[in-house]
Structure 1
Amino acid sequence: MPLPAAPLPAVLPPPACRRVRLAALLTVLTLGATGVLAVGAGRQTPAAAAPEDRAAVLPVSTTAGTVVQVVAHPDDDLFFMNPDLSRSLLSGTRVTTAYLTSGEADGRNTASGGGLKDPPRPADRAAYAEARQNGIRAAYAQMAVGDRTGPWRRTVIPTAGGGQAELDVLVAKPQVQLVWLQLREARSIDGDNPDSLRGLWNGRIPALGTQPAAGTPVTQAYAYTKDQVTAAIAGVLERYRPTTIRMQDPTPGRHGEGGRPTDHQDHVYGARFVQAAAASYAERVADRPRFSVQNYLGYHNGALPHALDPQTVRAKTAVLRTYAWQDRTDYCGSPSGCGDRKVAGSPTGRNWAQSLRYTRADTTSWLTKGTPGRLWAFATLDGRTAYWTRSPGGAWAGPALLPGTGIDPGATAVRLPDGRVGVLATRTTLGTRPADYRREVVYAAQSSPDGPFGPWQSLGTPETADEDGTSAISAPAAAADADGLLTVYLRDSRRTLRAAAQQPDGGFSPWQRLGGGDLQGDPVAAVDSAGRRHVYATTTRSVAAWIQRTPDSPLLGPARTGLPATTVPLSAAPDGAGVRLFFRRPDSGVVRTALVTAGPAGPRVSSITEAGGRAGYGAVGVAGRSIAGRAGTGTVGTSTLGGPPAWTESRMLFAGAPAALLEPTGTTTTAVLGLDAALHLTTTPPPRTPTPTPPPWHRAVR
């Protein structure tokens, strides 16, 4: 299908059903004169407040920060990081994308499939690499300025790895830049080609050469050792000093035990190089902003229910059609072609355009209560666990960093019965040899209520052999018993559930098998009012449950819930005698909820109701009747159970998932990690408290 004469919008108008509390309806994201994202401008102006109200005197949160994306191939960002990418570009955020390989494949820029059949042409890898570059530049110009023909300035920069890279700067928006390292790609999804990022990482070749594009201003070919590739990526990070790093998934796993990898080998090993580079950058460069990392799921999206609503899919696909040069109009003047014709026959890929999923930091259990009046929030910054704390007087402090590096994005916080707080995460060890690459679960807890955190304690991993690709464990979920002993739950690389129980001496048992199959994403755990533990995990078709019949009995499961397919991320909250689950409807993004209680013959599940906000993607934070999530425009929004099916949106893009808590006063505190790597909050007063305007989002710490 040819492209329309005028480029389609890169970011969608909000769904028509969204209730908008504005005098004038804003139907698209608009870029304000200040260069920050303005979604429903004016909706975040705080009402007049008493001088002692700390939140009221803090500036309203808007999108801020610097984003660097590092991907293996041209188009990985368009398939797997969009619409996050387009919304960042439209917001005025400084965005740089670095491409590790040229993506030269077989060198044939021809379409086949989808009703298209280009005539055969001889292989020319340099020309095909140039065509893909042309398509990327057109796609970014369309997303950023609405014109695919927007001009770019192409220059050469030295790399910290001893070579040269191409740097492209969008003339109309110089804060949008592309860096091309132009390494050779593997030229196979999972074939054994030593001359690849995988072969370089595993030490099978001493260096990997480049494949310069036909039109690149880089006139010399280079070869990089493993350390030089790491240094080159770290140099990009040092040049742009990001507050958010976006990368692919270094451990996506396999299709069943011993099956094929679920992702392209360049995606996996490119991501491992980015992990190593980010660790080097964090350690070596002291004068820099803190940064968070967001990982994105790749090919496996095609096997899961669609996560995006139809409008977002249409806009995302329009960008991919531009990249694919679907209309064959010669608007770029390049003999290599204006885009990637291999994508033209199927611009949605293999169901990739219909989804966006995070593989880390998409859980909502990182905010918790401590002693009365005190709150704790956790995130991963600079590869270390960071925490913020709110005193009973209402003032927030932080972030402080726990000792130890290699912590993966995300955190799971737990409150122990005596008021102490603990935190769980996964930690990646890079090592010096390929076999040293491992991921394990770690736990740290306070030595006393409000006291310092003790050292990290390793729970190890259920992947004892830890063969290539089997570090694909989930984020941990946890629940504490009345004695303060934890049980930690984990999805393993075989997509079954595992558990490790804390012993009275503080150590943990070996990982036990709890069964299940086809588990996706991260499990969630909660305890109902009777003290029974519930654990839930999504599958491609439903949700599986493990529930205790009594607080002292074994966890039983997996049991079928009969719930329909979800978009994968789950949230769970105690609700009376049961646990209420929150999830999103595929192909929609609508938030749904169902109550699950323990029955004599298995779980009893209520009817499903819609819980508030429509459209969007990712996990939702829940506190009482308040929910928070990513709204249709990508900003953080709040909604109310039983209220109108709409998000009250902010002006802020963010990383990961929101978290929320209901406090004894009836106040709800909701938190997100902004793209600026800072903690942002909104506080909703108790129900029936008059509020002239929606409470604003603001930084926790000035």
Structure 2
Amino acid sequence: MRPPVKLRAALLAFAAALFSVPSAPARADTFAASPSIVQVVAHADDTFLFFNPDLRKVYDFPLVTVFLTAGAATTEVGPNQAFSSTCLYGQSRDKGARAAAAEIAGVRNPTWTRTPITFAGKVAEEDTLDQAPQVKLVFFKLHDAGDANYVSGVNKQGILEQIYNSGQITGWHQATMGTLAADGGSDCEQQYANQTYTKSQLTASLTALYAHYNATVVYGMDPHRFDSDPGNTDHLGAGGFTLDSVAAYHGPGSGGHVLLRPYRDYNISKEGSTLNGGDSATKNGDFISYLGPDRGDIPGVYHGLYDTSPDPNNSFYTPFYSRQYSRWPNGEVWTALDGTGKLNAFAILNSQVQQWIETTPGGAWTGPTPIPNSSGLTPTLSVIRDPSGMLRVFTTRLSDYSAMTDVETAPGVWSAWKSLGSANPDDPTLQGDPAALTEQNGNVTVFVRNLGTGVSAKTLNPGGSWPSTWADLGGFDVRDDLAAGLGGSGAGELFAPSGQGILHWKQNTARRWAMDSSPLTPAAAGKTQVSFALNKDGRPEIFYADPNNPSVATQWTQGNGTWTRSPGLIGGSPPMLESVAATTAPDGRISIAIRNSGGGVSMASQTAANVGFSGSWPDLGNVIVGAPAIASDSDGRLIVLACELDGALHINRQTAAGTGSPFGGWQLVGH
């Protein structure tokens, strides 16, 4: 069982101090809907390897983990191996999932209640942790892609990705374990056998599952396939089904409060570390809890009781412990002041781009209101104000990875979406999400990563049309997450994390983009999302997670106009899980906000204009999803914005202007 409340609070406080994360203050506002989190994965170990440590932040809330396949690849069974049938192997992996879930929940001697449950006419297994009943596991028990007993193509039976891509009209279907005699016969759990799923049936079952558990946040697997990194076919199928089923679900009571967050999987091992030592060690322990105690039957190799195949110490698995990446991070450029002085915010909730607007400058809010025809777009948004005062939103269309944009015709009134096409017609999957900028002369320019892994750009023509072709700005090995802003002189500045370092472009006197001869840093491994702000004297400064130490790093232009060439770590920075949000207040001081490793929001500010940051990082509390944003309202007050586990937007605004003024506490925005 969990420690007593007082003891547990003391342990949490000690852990927070150990990893420089202050204990979160109590929340003050209300939820739009009671938080309920559902995770949908392909295999029993996916949640512990790819959704962690985020999953550890939500175990005190209702949490349902859905395992679509039994994970029973036949390569794991046979003569002289641990399991005599694929069914027994799948059931053992289920035991591992239960063991790890109980470990994370803090239950030392767990018992589970296991019952059949029906979703849209199909029967799955629901397991409830008796000592922490908010924790549930649901097993669909479908065949794994590696199960040679389940030969895809025979009688149009297929694995997850095949039935997702082929659809119901061709008759493709999946089947549960025990449907085939070769699965193990009497070893299988017959109450779940002899069921088949078409694409529409599996989608309907997942949608019904969300409704049953009143899901407000859904964690899903990566549905994005790169030709250069095709990924795991079960992961891709699970990711695709999660996209479609969430789109068919509209939150508890159809109130629209549901947020989807897909996570990258095997390909994160190619990126830089993002987690601090404490989170990495805990994640390693969670995975070992899933594997189970070492059988000890193979000298020098960890051979788990529940899943005997993975060696948690080999070169394949060890990179996962220090990494967690969202497929489409929401970044921090999702707020903007419109031409009337009202602050706006944008995010994808209920599978559409939603807009919130202050009713009066610095006042209450309305929303969320969906932008028409905004389904099928990624959550990575870039928002700017054009010279007319209207707002523009840029993102990516999932069906073909085209850059997309929409513009207001009046505050809160939108024109039709416009496709800007792809800089990569031969392989659009390699195109990155767009970053946009309104230049000093009023030009609107958008930037994307291109097929050569450099950067391409388009600038809106006079009259409102976009050119058909993209201009190649150069660069190489760019990792996405572009950032753009205006320097104090009015020249545009563009930043692109790459394997070589953070690449930098600046507009010359002719307003053409010129790349520096060398990166700003010697190297920047991984996806280092850059944020941009101006010092009071007009010097640009950038902020990002240092890839060698997941705390906030910064670089800035010096008095002679040149950039510092090595990152400076901001003192006292807690370990962070997302990008840095940055803004300059009217008094000229820069403030930054991060999602800390406790899942809440921490922030810091310059001690005075044009100088360094305080080592104090007050924790504003709450458990949020994705990265926060920070902005100044028309009254000069700082405001921090974040989506929470209720599938809604919440804000925390200063009580008065001035960087040192206190914040008034979190408030629900709209409803």
TM-score of the superposed pair, with normalisation by structure 1: 0.81
Distance 2:327 2:112 in 1: 33
Shift of 1:695: 3.9
Distance 2:50 2:267 in 1: 10
CA gap 1:518/1:567 in 2 versus in 1, 3 angstroms: closer
CA gap 1:337/1:617 in 2 versus in 1, 3 angstroms: closer
Distance 1:662 1:95 in 2: 35
Is 1:97 aligned to 2:65, yes or no? yes
CA gap 1:697/1:85 in 2 versus in 1, 3 angstroms: same
**Residue aligning to 2:43:** 73
**Residue aligning to 1:267:** 235
Distance 2:523 2:215 in 1: 39
Is 1:306 aligned to 2:268, yes or no? no
CA gap 1:687/1:10 in 2 versus in 1, 3 angstroms: closer
**Residue aligning to 2:581:** 621
Distance 2:171 2:480 in 1: 34
**Residue aligning to 2:215:** 242
Distance 1:428 1:10 in 2: 40
Please point out which of 404, 407, 428 is paired with 1:442: 404
- Greater shift in the superposed pair: 274-283 or 397-406: 274-283
CA gap 1:687/1:416 in 2 versus in 1, 3 angstroms: same
| Preserved CA contact (<8 Å) 2:446 2:457 | yes
Distance 1:249 1:597 in 2: 41
**Residue aligning to 1:462:** 423
Is 1:153 aligned to 2:153, yes or no? no
Match of 1:299, as an amino acid? Answer: Y
- Greater shift in the superposed pair: 350-359 or 566-575: 566-575
User: Percent sequence identity over matched residues?
Assistant: 24
**Residue aligning to 1:14:** 16
Distance 1:202 1:10 in 2: 45
**Residue aligning to 1:634:** 599
Is 1:528 aligned to 2:494, yes or no? no
Distance 1:679 1:16 in 2: 31
The C-alpha deviation readout for 1:352-404, integer Å capped at 9, x for no partner, is: 11111112133100011112531000001111110111121511111111111
Higher RCO (CA-CA < 8 Å; seq separation 6+): 1
| Preserved CA contact (<8 Å) 2:271 2:525 | no
Match of 1:496, as an amino acid? Answer: G
- Greater shift in the superposed pair: 556-565 or 619-628: 556-565
**Residue aligning to 2:3:** none
The C-alpha deviation readout for 1:104-132, integer Å capped at 9, x for no partner, is: 1235279xxxxxxx974465211111111
| Preserved CA contact (<8 Å) 1:621 1:658 | yes
Shift of 1:490: 1.4
CA gap 1:690/1:683 in 2 versus in 1, 3 angstroms: closer
| Preserved CA contact (<8 Å) 1:63 1:93 | no
CA gap 1:343/1:501 in 2 versus in 1, 3 angstroms: same
Shift of 1:209: 2.0
| Preserved CA contact (<8 Å) 1:567 1:583 | no
Please point out which of 508, 533, 543 is paired with 2:466: 508
**Residue aligning to 1:126:** 87
Distance 1:549 1:514 in 2: 13
Distance 1:359 1:701 in 2: 27
Please point out which of 628, 643, 652 is paired with 1:658: 628
CA gap 1:552/1:565 in 2 versus in 1, 3 angstroms: closer
CA gap 1:281/1:673 in 2 versus in 1, 3 angstroms: same
**Residue aligning to 1:342:** 309
| Preserved CA contact (<8 Å) 2:575 2:597 | yes
Shift of 1:423: 1.2
Distance 1:296 1:324 in 2: 22
**Residue aligning to 2:129:** 170
Please point out which of 445, 456, 468 is paired with 1:487: 445
Shift of 1:274: 1.4
The C-alpha deviation readout for 1:444-472, integer Å capped at 9, x for no partner, is: 11114x35222212212234245xxx535
Please point out which of 494, 497, 510 is paired with 2:455: 497
Shift of 1:73: 1.2
Distance 1:198 1:688 in 2: 51
Shift of 1:246: 1.0
Distance 1:499 1:546 in 2: 12
| Preserved CA contact (<8 Å) 2:503 2:519 | yes
| Preserved CA contact (<8 Å) 2:66 2:139 | yes
The C-alpha deviation readout for 1:306-340, integer Å capped at 9, x for no partner, is: 100001111111111100113449xxxxxx98522
Is 1:378 aligned to 2:340, yes or no? no
CA gap 1:61/1:168 in 2 versus in 1, 3 angstroms: closer
Distance 1:12 1:454 in 2: 53
Distance 2:664 2:31 in 1: 11
**Residue aligning to 1:6:** none
TM-score of the superposed pair, with normalisation by structure 2: 0.85
Shift of 1:17: 6.2
Distance 2:17 2:477 in 1: 33
Please point out which of 361, 378, 394 is paired with 2:363: 394
Distance 1:122 1:221 in 2: 22
| Preserved CA contact (<8 Å) 2:361 2:635 | no
The C-alpha deviation readout for 1:61-85, integer Å capped at 9, x for no partner, is: 8996111111111111111101110
Shift of 1:504: 1.5
Q: What SS class does the counterpart of residue 520 from structure 1 fall into?
A: coil
Distance 2:13 2:480 in 1: 27
Distance 1:543 1:516 in 2: 10
Instruction: Give the number of equivalent residue pairs.
Output: 622
Distance 2:451 2:318 in 1: 23
Shift of 1:578: 4.4
Matches for 1:177-188 after TM superposition, within 5 Å: 177-187=136-146
Match of 1:677, as an amino acid? Answer: G
Q: What SS class does the counterpart of residue 670 from structure 1 fall into?
A: strand
CA gap 1:483/1:422 in 2 versus in 1, 3 angstroms: same
Q: CA RMSD in A?
A: 3.3
Distance 1:378 1:76 in 2: 30
User: Structure 1: 5+ residue runs without aligned partners?
Assistant: 1-8, 21-38, 46-58, 111-117, 330-335, 430-437
CA gap 1:485/1:269 in 2 versus in 1, 3 angstroms: farther
**Residue aligning to 2:4:** none
User: Structure 2: 5+ residue runs without aligned partners?
Assistant: 1-10, 297-302, 585-589, 607-611
Please point out which of 197, 208, 216 is paired with 1:224: 197
Is 1:325 aligned to 2:292, yes or no? yes
**Residue aligning to 1:280:** 248
Q: What SS class does the counterpart of residue 563 from structure 2 fall into?
A: strand
Match of 1:183, as an amino acid? Answer: L
Please point out which of 369, 377, 382 is paired with 1:412: 382
Match of 1:300, as an amino acid? Answer: N
The C-alpha deviation readout for 1:162-220, integer Å capped at 9, x for no partner, is: 4321111111222211111122121199xx96542222233387212222595747342
Shift of 1:699: 1.8
Match of 1:175, as an amino acid? Answer: Q
Shift of 1:644: 4.2
**Residue aligning to 1:572:** 532
Shift of 1:260: 4.0
Q: What SS class does the counterpart of residue 18 from structure 1 fall into?
A: coil
Distance 2:174 2:661 in 1: 64
Distance 2:426 2:480 in 1: 22
Is 1:475 aligned to 2:425, yes or no? no
Distance 1:649 1:689 in 2: 15
Shift of 1:663: 4.4
Q: What SS class does the counterpart of residue 341 from structure 2 fall into?
A: coil
Distance 1:526 1:549 in 2: 14
**Residue aligning to 2:164:** 201
